[in-house]
């Protein structure tokens, strides 16, 4: 039997990278098993499931967010600026907006190469082109992971905290912030216009679940459904 001595820091970093925040003895054992599959005998990473094009799309999304934040911050400063300072801020805003336009075009071009996935996503009642763009940018793993894993990655799976006899309260934390933010807005739309999600949400509320808990459950239901749609190459059917 081959034995590999894993450094605790590397396993901990791997857990964070996988968005593994739940803490039970059973889940810890599964994490170590996954870590063993991911690294070679000498501890080097075996491979990455994200393509170069998807990685580029993710990086472009990060730059787009930074530019949006910079434009917003400068527009706030502009309200109290005057004289030369105001001129410089206006130039910065103009330059950033020009860059933002170019980057958005690059993102659209990159998404065009993922046309099949994009069309599958927007077939879901509650997912628009903007949300589809965010999900393709922020969650390139869609369709490649199991349902539980994709829910954890986005941050909509309740995490338990147990060790031995200690039993903590389950809660959501971590995950891909911008993907979860887009999913939150989609859940609000789906709860009104998607017949299945509307019924699902109402059923949870009627059973005594808090509104926010039910909303997170809808978010999880949506991302799991989208993951299955891409994995099986199936369009959404609202029937």
Write out pLDDT tens, residues 152-176.
Answer: 888 887 665 555 565 555 555 667 8
Return the pLDDT at 13.
65
151/225 same-domain check: yes
* Domain shared by 134 and 226, yes or no: yes
User: Does 140 lie in the same domain as 212?
Assistant: yes
In a domain, 104, yes or no: yes
- Structural domain for 14, as ranges: 8-38
Q: What is the pLDDT of residues 14-66, one digit of tens each?
A: 676 665 656 677 777 777 777 676 665 555 544 445 667 778 888 888 899 99
Q: Is the residue at 118 inside a domain?
A: no
- Judged on CB neighbours under 10 Å (0-12, 13-18, 19+), 198 is middle
For 191, the token pair is 């709860």
Residues 218 and 190 in one domain: yes
For the stretch 95-131, pLDDT in tens is 999 999 999 999 888 888 788 888 999 999 999 988 9
Q: What's the chain look like in SS3?
A: CCCCCCCHHHHHHHHHHCCCCCECHHHHHHHHHHHHHHECCCCCECCCCCCHHHHHHHHHHHHHHHHHHHHHHHHHHHCCCCHHHHHHHHHHHHHHHHHHHHHHHHHHHHHHCCHHHHHHHHCCCCCCHHHHHHHHHHCCCCCCCCHHHHHHHHCCCCECEEECCEECCCECCCCCHHHHHHHHHHHHHHHHHCHHHHHHHHHHHHCCCCHHHHHHHHHHHHHHHHHHHHHHCCCCCCC
Same domain, 226 and 133: yes
Q: Is residue 124 part of a domain?
A: no
Nearest CA-CA partner of 3 in 45, 43, 34: 43
239 domain residue, yes or no: no
Contact 31, 15 (CB under 8 A): yes
How many domains, the chain? 3
Residue 87 lies in a domain: yes
Assess whether 133 and 227 both reside in one domain. yes
174 and 212 together in one domain: yes
* One domain for residues 59 and 32: no
State the pTM of this model.
0.68
Residue 120 lies in a domain: no
Same domain, 133 and 210: yes
> Do residue 165 and residue 85 come from a single domain?
no
Residues 6+ apart with CB under 8 A from 239: none
Least-confidence region, from 38-42, 60-64, 75-79, 195-199: 38-42
| Whether residue 87 sits in one domain with residue 31 | no
Indicate whether 17 and 97 sit together in one domain: no
């Amino acid at each position: 039997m081959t034995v590999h001595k894993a450094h605790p820091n590397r396993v901990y970093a791997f857990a964070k990278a996988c968005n593994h925040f739940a803490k039970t003895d059973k889940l810890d054992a599964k994490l170590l098993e996954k870590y063993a599959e991911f690294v070679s005998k000498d501890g080097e990473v075996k491979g990455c499931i994200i393509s170069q094009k998807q990685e580029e799309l993710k990086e472009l999304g990060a730059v787009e967010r930074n530019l949006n934040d910079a434009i917003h911050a400068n527009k706030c400063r502009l309200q109290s600026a005057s004289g030369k300072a105001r001129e410089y801020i206006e130039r910065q805003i103009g330059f950033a907006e020009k860059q933002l336009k170019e980057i958005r075009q690059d993102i659209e071009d990159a998404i065009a190469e993922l046309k099949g996935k994009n069309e599958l996503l927007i077939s879901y009642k509650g997912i628009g082109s903007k949300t589809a763009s965010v999900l393709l940018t922020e969650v390139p793993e869609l369709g490649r992971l199991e349902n539980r894993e994709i829910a954890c990655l986005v941050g909509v799976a309740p995490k338990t905290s147990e060790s031995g006899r200690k039993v903590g309260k389950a809660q959501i934390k971590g995950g891909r912030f911008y993907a979860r933010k887009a999913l939150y807005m989609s859940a609000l739309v789906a709860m009104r216009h998607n017949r299945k999600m509307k019924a699902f949400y109402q059923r949870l509320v009627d059973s005594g679940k808090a509104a926010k808990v039910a909303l997170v459950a809808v978010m999880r239901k949506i991302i799991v459904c989208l993951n299955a749609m891409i994995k099986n190459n199936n369009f959404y059917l609202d029937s």
